[in-house]
Structure 1
Amino acid sequence: MKRRMALAVLGAAMAAPLVARAQAAALPFDASWQALTFPRLAATRYALEGTRLGIAADQSSSLIYRGLDASLRGARQARWNWAVGESVPPTDLSRKGGDDRNIALYFIFMDAASAQRLRPGTSPQRLLSNRSARVVMHVWGGNHAAGTILPSPYMRGRGFTIVQRPAGTGEGSVTTDLGRDHARAFGQAPEALVGVAVSADSDDTATRLRASISNLTLG
């Protein structure tokens, strides 16, 4: 039974996409990113520096988001470099209100029909609350082993965290198969990649972090 389920998930990840496969493209950190802040919380600071995003959190939390051009909706691979100079403590990423993390990189998907109806300039808050949105988050942080998949405590089954690295300092690079990530989290292949977001927060632990992401590429 377990073998049949594993094969079904793998088959879903390898199924023919409903949108054309995207050519590899660098995704710059520029003025196209929108900020989403939260009431009564100081905002994490993001320095948009072209190929690099600087991140500074001081007992703070916020998110930045970029909608994707239709030509990137078929992207099924992502690559990036990241580094953490100062880290938040290890936290339980499954716990609402106690889940500080150094970096979370969100890949936001919708079914093809919903993506077609998506209006340019849709706010990140509106998109993330859309019932058809499905979010896979790659995270550096937490007290979980690398490779752990956790349901987001905020998204009611529409978002999952994949732990890349537990809390701590260092640097590294990631190459990931977005189709396989989506299938592992939701049991089916993705349709349209509509947006990317970054968040970092240190409000729950009342600490600070310094980090960066660079050379983010989709393809």
Structure 2
Amino acid sequence: MLRYAAVIVLSLMAVPVSAAPVSFDGAWKTQKFSLFSSNTYGFNGNSVSVTSDGSVSLAYRPLDTSYWNATSAQWSWRVDEGVPATDLRQKGGDDRNLALYFVFLPPDQAQALQGASVRKLLTNDAARVLVYVWGGAHKRGAVLGSPYLGSRGKTIVLRGAGTGSASETVNLGRDYANAFGGGGAALVGVALSGDSDDTDTRIRASISGLRVD
């Protein structure tokens, strides 16, 4: 078993990674949190629009093995209408304009859980999730505990509540090490959400040009 695990790790380390786009295509699937509340996502290849009217849901896309060694990401996002500033540490009161999730698993778990649903991944004890957020009443760079993921997730604030447009580049490897203490992990999926249900407000926003390397 140990020899098999070592082979998996070495094979993943040998996978070359260059800057690669993550398309907003039909591979994305929506996960509702309520039967009566869901956002609307408009997937259009290079970009996705997010419409949220007092609602919340999450869209998830698994990543194949060519992405698993990625250590950085970049994207652009825009908020034309957003939610007020909230405390992102408060469960049930943490509305935010946009959140982009990067989901990691240990290499052996990544192999075993290929094709698993986002709900199964996010409730897996081995999963670790970095959540980059536009929203909240916190300063840029704040690293917060997740009220839903516990020790398995960290929220990193890139933009406070407000509107406008911006481009981001994040160091996934450094942020993962700072949040979870390092260790090998495979980037197995990405997710995005808008969240306006607690404040019963509206979001009109978009994300484009998502790439990882």
Correspondence 1:67 to 2:67: no
1:128 to 122, 126, 150: 122
Tell me the amino acid that sits aligned with residue 96 of structure 2. R
Alignment of 1:68-217 (within 5 A): 68-120=63-115, 122-217=116-211
Correspondence 1:22 to 2:17: yes
What's the TM-score, normalizing by structure 1? 0.89
1:163-182 deviation digits (Å, cap 9, x = unpaired): 00000001000011100010
Separation (CA, whole Å) in 1 of partners of 2:201 and 2:59: 20
Matched residue count: 203
1:143-171 deviation digits (Å, cap 9, x = unpaired): 00000000100012100000000000010
- Structure 1 residue runs without a partner (length 5+): 1-15
Separation (CA, whole Å) in 2 of partners of 1:48 and 1:40: 22
Instruction: Tell me the secondary structure at the aligned position of residue 185 of structure 1.
Output: helix
Instruction: Tell me the secondary structure at the aligned position of residue 206 of structure 1.
Output: coil
What's the TM-score, normalizing by structure 2? 0.92
How far 1:119 moved relative to its partner? 2.9
Separation (CA, whole Å) in 2 of partners of 1:103 and 1:159: 16
1:46-68 deviation digits (Å, cap 9, x = unpaired): 10011011001000000000000
1:61-116 deviation digits (Å, cap 9, x = unpaired): 00000000111100111000001000100000000000000000000001111111
Tell me the amino acid that sits aligned with residue 70 of structure 2. A
- Structure 2 residue runs without a partner (length 5+): 1-9
Tell me the amino acid that sits aligned with residue 22 of structure 1. V
Instruction: Tell me the secondary structure at the aligned position of residue 113 of structure 1.
Output: helix
Look up the match of 2:34.
39
Residues 142 and 25 of structure 1: is their aligned pair in 2 closer, same or farther, counting only changes over 3 Å? same
Separation (CA, whole Å) in 2 of partners of 1:173 and 1:85: 15
Tell me the amino acid that sits aligned with residue 55 of structure 1. V
Deviating 4+ runs (over 4 angstroms): none
Instruction: Tell me the secondary structure at the aligned position of residue 98 of structure 1.
Output: coil
Instruction: Tell me the secondary structure at the aligned position of residue 51 of structure 2.
Output: strand
Residues 126 and 69 of structure 1: is their aligned pair in 2 closer, same or farther, counting only changes over 3 Å? same
Q: Which moved more, 1:205-214 or 1:35-44?
A: 35-44
Instruction: Tell me the secondary structure at the aligned position of residue 78 of structure 2.
Output: strand
How far 1:18 moved relative to its partner? 6.2
**For the aligned residues, what is the CA RMSD?**
1.5
Conserved in 1, the CA contact under 8 Å of 2:12 and 2:68? no
Tell me the amino acid that sits aligned with residue 214 of structure 1. S
Tell me the amino acid that sits aligned with residue 167 of structure 2. S
Separation (CA, whole Å) in 2 of partners of 1:180 and 1:135: 13
